[in-house]
Structures are given as structure tokens and as C-alpha cells.
Amino acid sequence: MMHTKLVLLLAMVTITVHLAMVACDPIGGTVFSEESCHQTGMLVFYRIKLVTSWSKKLFPKHYPEFRPPPHWSMTLGQTHNDSFQLFQLKHSASMPVATFAETGQAAPLEESLAVQQGVLFDEFRLPKIRKGKGESEATFFVDGKHSSVSFMTKIIPSPDWFIGLDSFNLCSRGRWLEKVTIPLNPLDAGSSSGLTFTSPKWPTNPRGVVEQITARYPLHFASSFFYPEIKHLPPIAHVTFTKMKEYSNHNNVHKKVKKLKYKQRTKLLKKIKQQSTSGETDVMNNTANEILSDKDCQVSTWSAWSPCSKTCGLGKRNRTRNVLQVQRLGGVECPPLVETQWCGSASQCSVIDSYFRW
């Protein structure tokens, strides 16, 4: 009897909790509102790992044996909100994206990204993979307002082929994905004609759209990926996103961020400072300094400026600060301890002084 009551009670509690957590999503379906990704102050740290499988066994046709051997450019990626798109299937690629796909040069793309502050949150680079088969990884942050990730990697050699992801949302139904692996197929940026890995390049005029390359597309026997005997190309790579840490206000973001590694921490600090100057995050702003850990160098405030080195003409003056705590292994290194400034001016020289001193 006692037992039955308990079970019933538990069942009721479960239902109540469930009802409380489920809220209506205006677009349809339900989301778990209590764990919604979009709370303010939410910050999530992910690892991206790219594993490529371009081998002669999987892709025997035209497999480049000689110079250049099969490899992959560095990967350029970013996290962003819905107002940004790196590329889009069936749409023409932007100039910087096409350039990267054709040449592997990232500079134009980086420049075009630099002017899109606000829509972008974090940027990351994965080192080159120097063989057809290999792996590479990096880490990045997303937050409640910027939950999508995009990236691209050039296939080398190739006319303008690449692999990548366009706006993959790491927040799914109100929750941050724990771990997700996505197969990748080659894409054609549509800016350079050429059917094979090593065929000479000439611009496609007018520029085509970004297309997925399949065993049937381009529908041409000479195409390096044209395999009429199979239905689907095997994925040429896989990308895995793994959630490393999730910070929210009530989880005490700052204490936890202290445990991050030096590079991650300095990157985050920079981000927070940027945002607080643009008045975005009040939650994180207060405490950029609190993020510094006990391993980091800490310095005093600046001393007053020293007197000018010259009473006549242009001189220099210094101010200094002291190390309060030396940097320890893995900590942030000390900022400059001396600052120098020009001081004085020619107009301060009295004629008598400069003439008769000697």
C-alpha cells in the first residue's frame, strides 16, 4: 500500500516537472525552456575536430600521386548569429570565399570577416592537414546570441573544391548539443571550371553557384568524383563538435573560466572587453579582471609620471608599475612595466639658457 502511494506520488512529481519544463515554441514543437540556450550570460566552449579520409582506396579515380600530393588547407571558421552566412548551397559564393576555395588564401576572407563584428562571435583556425588522411582540431566559443558555426577547408589540389559547413546550429531544441559528428562531401565553389583535381584553372563565366559534388555531379565521365558504379560518394571527411564546458550566470562563469588555458582565457578576455565597450554584456563585463587566475602576472597601478628628462626642448618621461605577483607556468605574462612619453617642447627653452649654458 505504502509502496503504491510512493510510486503514484513519484509519477505525479515527474509529470509536474515535465509540464513545467516544456514551453510552447511559437514556431512549432516544444522546447525545454529551463535549459534554453538563449539565456543572457550563457557561454559555451566547444572543440571542433576535423578528420579527413581522402585515400586512394576510397577515391581511386585521379588520386593525385605526385606534386602536389593530396592535402588540405588550414580551416577558417567562425561562430555567428543568423544574419551571417559563409556560403550557401545553390547560391553564388562571395568573392573572398571563392578566392579561398581557388587558392587557399585566407587574407581576403579574414578581411571581410573583420568588418562583421556583432554578427560574428568567435573565430577559429584549424592547422593544415598535410596528407589526404589526417586530423586537425581547435576550440571556440558560442553564446546564446550566436549559436551557429560555419567553416571551410580547401581541397588541394583542386580547381575550387572545398569542404565545409554553413550555419550549423549547436543549439537544438533549446539545448546545446553534447557531441555531434557530421559527414562532409566535397563542394564546388562554382568560380573555376575544371573537372579534375589537377586540371588547369580558368574562371567560370558567369560565376556558378556552390554545389555539392556527388558521384553523379558534375555529370561528366572526366570528373574526378564521377563514379557511375556507386550510388553515393563515401564522405571525404567528418567533423565532430564536442561540448567542453557550459557556463551560465548562476554557474559562476568567472570562477570556471579561470581554469581555462592561457590562450583560451586571453581570447575570451579580449572578447569580453570588446563587448563591454560596445555595451553588450553587462553580466560579463564587471569581472574581466576576475578571470585572471592566480597563475597570471598581476601588476600595480601606474606610478606618477617622472619629471621630464629635459627642461628645454623635447624630452622623455616615464611612469612605472610593479609586479605584484609573478607569472607562473600557464599564466598570462606581465604587461609592460614602463611607459615612456615625449614631453617638453622647444617653446619652453629660454633664449638665455640655450645660448649661454656652455
Ligand X SMILES: *[C@@H]1O[C@H](CO)[C@@H](O)[C@H](O)[C@H]1NC(C)=O
Task: Write out the residues near ligand X by the rule CB under 6 A.
Answer: 81-83, 118-119, 276, 279, 282, 285, 306, 309, 316-318, 338, 340
CA atoms within 13 A on the CB side of 12: 6
Report the distance separating Cα 19 and Cα 28, nearest Å.
17
**Shortest spacing between CB 60 and ligand X, in angstroms:** 44
Closer residue to ligand X (CB): 181 or 311: 311
CB atoms within 10 A of CB 304: 8
Q: Residue 185 corresponds to which amino acid?
A: N
CB 36 within 8 A of CB 174: yes
Q: How far is the CB of 264 from ligand X (least distance, A)?
A: 22
Comparison of 213 and 284: residue with beta carbon closer to ligand X: 284
Q: Which is nearer to ligand X, 185 or 287 (CB)?
A: 287
Q: Shortest distance, CB of residue 351 to ligand X, whole angstroms?
A: 25
Least spacing, CB of residue 123 vs ligand X, in Å: 15
Stretch (H or E) spanning 21: helix 2-21
Dihedral of alpha carbons 191, 194, 196, 199, sign: negative
Name the residue nearer to ligand X (CB basis): 32 or 305. 305
Q: Nine-digit cell at 115?
A: 568588418
Query: Is 199 within 8 Å of 159 (Cβ atoms)?
Result: yes
Instruction: Please tell me what DSSP assigns to residue 167.
Output: E
Q: CB 317 → ligand X: shortest distance, Å? A: 5
Give me Rg for the CA atoms of the chain: 28
Nearer to ligand X, 148 or 191 (CB): 148
Cα–Cα separations (whole angstroms), residue 305 to 47, 86, 95, 269, 348 = 46, 49, 50, 28, 19
Q: Which is nearer to ligand X, 16 or 322 (CB)?
A: 322
User: What contacts 31, CB < 8 A, 6 or more positions away?
Assistant: 22, 23, 25, 173, 174
The minimum distance between CB 186 and ligand X, in angstroms, equals: 30
Residue facing ligand X at closest CB distance: 118
- Nearest approach, Cβ of 286 to ligand X (angstroms)? 6
CB of 274 to ligand X, least distance (A): 12
Q: Closer CB to ligand X, residue 193 or residue 285?
A: 285
CB-CB contact of 201 with 159 (8 Å): yes
Q: Smallest distance, Å, CB 120 to ligand X?
A: 9
Q: Toward ligand X, which CB reaches closer, 112 or 318?
A: 318
Rounded to a whole number of angstroms, the minimum distance from the CB of residue 119 to ligand X is 5
Within 13 Å, how many C-alpha atoms sit on residue 288's CB side? 15
Q: Report how far residue 2's alpha carbon sits from residue 126's, in angstroms, rounded to the nearest whole number.
A: 60
Give me the DSSP letters along 222-246.
T-TT--TT-SSPPPSEEEEEEEEEE
Give 171 or 187: the residue with its C-beta nearer to ligand X. Answer: 171
Name which of 196 and 309 has its Cβ closer to ligand X. 309
Are 209 and 135 within 8 A, CB to CB? Answer: no
Residue 150 phi, psi dihedral angles, 5° rounding: -135, 155
Cβ-based burial of 217 (10 A; exposed 0-12, middle 13-18, buried ≥19): middle
